[in-house]
Structure 1
Amino acid sequence: MSTPPPADRRTLIADTAIGLVAAAGLRGLTHRAVDAAAGLPAGSTSYYFRTRTALIAACYQRLAELDLADVDDGAAPGSAAPPATAVAPDRDAAAAALAALLYRWLTAGRERQLARFELSLEAARNPELQDDLHRAGRGARARAAGVAAALGSDRPDEAAELLVAWTEGLLYDRLAGALARSRPAPDLAELTGVARRMLAAVLADPA
């Protein structure tokens, strides 16, 4: 088997690290564990990411890339929703796109989202990671602001902040909240209704 070039190896390491965090939490994230899980020679992870902080920062960047790829792809398998970054002709189309995205992250992307939550908490404990987490989060807010502006918001940045916060809260509640295990399976129709209410709230005139 050929050795992947450095750029691909960095991606492989980040993806493997995210998978380890999803499976075992941050306690399972070590350079040695990443090497073993990725099938790389010992010392490979520490060569590319000298410290644990650098490795976690790489995870932030990779998680942002994957999430934005989902946003740009636009829909869960089988959904006819348009890409979330498209200029939505109306709120129903935007709600369908957002619901499809939520559905994907609650199903096929579940483990990645759980890893993202756990990795994000590390920045609250390690100030060295706060700038990396902030940079990683800019893309989602920019996309949300674009949708809000296309739907006529006079304050798209504020609307984006609320939309991202509510999306994060919904994901956390349904994946890791106290009632997560007892909730029914994600339903696209129900999520579409939730998305409509979220959009109506963030696009309402401020009090």
Structure 2
Amino acid sequence: MSDSPCVPHELSARRREILDAAVTVLADLGWRGLTHRAIDREAGLPEGSSSAYYRSRDALQQALLEYVVGFVAADVAELAAELERRPGDVEHAVTATTTTIHRWLEQSDRCKARLELTMAATRDPDLALRLTESRQGLTEVVDGILERGGHDHSGAVAATVVAAVDGVLVSALLQPPEERAAMVSNSLDLLLGSLLGGRPGP
């Protein structure tokens, strides 16, 4: 079987099953714990199943990266389309962006897996390059929000906002589950609302 990774909607049911299990393993055990054997156990599959689809660790890691990034890209595209329907509406932009971030936080394993990939990328230039490319879509969405609001919309400003959102996600994951949504809402309200002038800070 081919080791070529696919975007989420193109995957077979078995590949999705394997990669969903890989997301859980990565979220629970970290980068070093990501092994074919651990994935097979998590998925409840016979030993050797995941290696039949992704023969090497590198192939598995690349497929997992594209799988996780694919979900983020789909959410970002959906967010961009939503904002295009109400251009210039800063209040709506803040609310829609917050809703997207809430959805990421609710998918905690996927969120943790993306953060694990980000940390791994600090030690792997190739992985860092692929992750940087994947973040560009979200940066462009934020840049468009800033532009429509009449604010400074240099790439550096948008990139800083995206980096801050990652920080909010990490901080939220450190909170008890029942407190995470409120923290995200309050943090993004301050971050985006104050920056865009759509909502006053407390």
- TM-score bin (small chain): 0.7 to 0.9
| 1:7 and 2:7 matched | no
Distance 1:84 1:68 in 2: 15
Distance 1:158 1:122 in 2: 23
Corresponding residue SS for 2:179: coil
| 1:186 and 2:191 matched | no
Matched with 1:169 is 167
Cα shift readout 1:23-75 (whole Å, capped 9, x = no counterpart): 2323431112223333445434224333323322222222222123333444x
Distance 1:114 1:52 in 2: 20
| 1:92 and 2:70 matched | no
Distance 2:36 2:131 in 1: 20
Distance 1:147 1:132 in 2: 24
- TM superposition shift of 1:16: 1.9
| 1:83 and 2:82 matched | yes
Q: 1:7 to 1:190 in 2, by over 3 A?
A: closer
Matched with 2:107 is 109
Distance 1:86 1:11 in 2: 32
TM (norm. structure 1) is: 0.72
Unpaired runs of at least 5, structure 1 = 1-5, 75-81, 202-207
Q: Structure 2 matches for 1:4-43, cutoff 5 A?
A: 7-8=11-12, 9-43=14-48
- TM superposition shift of 1:92: 0.9
Note the aligned Cα RMSD (angstroms): 3.1
Alignment check: 8 A CA contact 1:57 1:132 kept: no
- TM superposition shift of 1:156: 4.2
Distance 1:171 1:48 in 2: 32
For 2:148, give the aligned amino acid.
Answer: A
For 1:184, give the aligned amino acid.
Answer: E
For 1:49, give the aligned amino acid.
Answer: Y
Matched with 1:45 is 50
Matched with 1:59 is 64
Q: 1:143 to 1:13 in 2, by over 3 A?
A: farther
Unpaired runs of at least 5, structure 2 = 1-9
TM (norm. structure 2) is: 0.73
Corresponding residue SS for 2:51: helix
- TM superposition shift of 1:125: 1.9
Distance 2:17 2:149 in 1: 38
How many residues in Structure 1 have an aligned counterpart in Structure 2?
185
> Identity, % of aligned pairs?
31
Distance 1:29 1:196 in 2: 39
Alignment check: 8 A CA contact 2:22 2:34 kept: yes
Alignment check: 8 A CA contact 2:142 2:161 kept: yes
- TM superposition shift of 1:163: 1.6
For 2:61, give the aligned amino acid.
Answer: I
For 1:52, give the aligned amino acid.
Answer: R
